[in-house]
Structures are given as C-alpha cells and as structure tokens.
C-alpha cells in the first residue's frame, strides 16, 4: 500500500490564482480530512469527509472547497489564493469515524502565496 499520497510537495502561487491539492489513499478508508499547519497553531481542520459524496466543514473552511466523488480521492481546492493561505497542508485518512481508529497522514504540501 502507498498509504496517503499528496501532490504536489511544494507549490508557489500568486495572489488570486486557484489550484487543487491532490490527496489519495489506497486503504479503503472511510474518513478523510485536510489540515493546515502553521507555527504555534498546531493542526487546524479545514474540511473532512465521512464517506464518498459526504463532506463537511472543519474549523477553518473559508477559501477552500472539497469534494469526495470516490472513496480514494479527496482534493482540496483553493478558489482565489491569498497570502494568509501560505501554510503546510496535510491530508489524512482513517478507517472509520467510530472507535479509536487512528489517522494516517500524508507527507504534506508546502504552499507559498505571494
């Protein structure tokens, strides 16, 4: 299994540009999520999904869209990039939303918005 994969690893955008961060998992996990990590802020949940076709907002959803058309993929779209979205983005997945199934994390995407 490849686990959780994210592309690209690094990205530089200009203010106002849009882009999609890709996330895929091959573990047939039900739950997938996106976080952003900023210094001193820990990981903040952007959006999450409890299954194909179902998504919901997390703590910091503004400026981001998601969709979950398949179990495997959970892309994150930046609609109009802003410097405040400069961050490291992590995708994670978990077998189930119930019980103590842990999350598995991707390697991250480092995004800079100029």
Partner 1 sequence: AQSVTQPDIHITVSEGASLELRCNYSYGATPYLFWYVQSPGQGLQLLLKYFSGDTLVQGIKGFEAEFKRSQSSFNLRKPSVHWSDAAEYFCAVKKIQFYFGTGTSLTVIP
40 is a site residue for partner 1 (CB under 8 A) = yes
Q: Which of 18, 97, 112, 114 binds partner 1 (CB under 8 A)?
A: 97
CB of 68 to partner 1, least distance (A): 15
2 is a site residue for partner 1 (CB under 8 A) = no
SS3 57: strand
SS3 2: coil
d(CA 48, CA 45): 8
d(CA 111, CA 17): 12
CB of 50 to partner 1, least distance (A): 7
42 is a site residue for partner 1 (CB under 8 A) = yes
Residues 58-77 that bind partner 1 (CB under 8 A): 58
The set of residues, in sequence order, having a beta carbon less than 8 Å from that of 6 and lying 6+ positions away, is: 21, 22, 23, 89, 90, 91, 106, 107, 108, 109
103 is a site residue for partner 1 (CB under 8 A) = yes
Footprint on this chain of partner 1 (rule: CB under 8 A): 4, 31, 33, 35, 40-45, 48, 50, 58, 90, 92, 97, 99-100, 102-108
């Amino acid at each position: 299994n490849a686990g959780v994969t994210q592309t690209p690893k690094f990205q530089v955008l200009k203010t106002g540009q849009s882009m999609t961060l890709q996330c895929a998992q091959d573990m047939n996990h039900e739950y997938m999520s996106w976080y952003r990590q900023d210094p001193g802020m820990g990981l903040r949940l952007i959006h999450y999904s409890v299954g194909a076709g179902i998504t919901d907002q997390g703590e910091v959803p503004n400026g981001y869209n998601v969709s979950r058309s398949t179990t495997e993929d959970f892309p994150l779209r930046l609609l109009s990039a802003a410097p405040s979205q400069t961050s490291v983005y992590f995708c994670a997945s978990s077998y189930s939303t119930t019980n103590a199934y842990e999350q598995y994390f991707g390697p991250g995407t480092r995004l800079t918005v100029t």
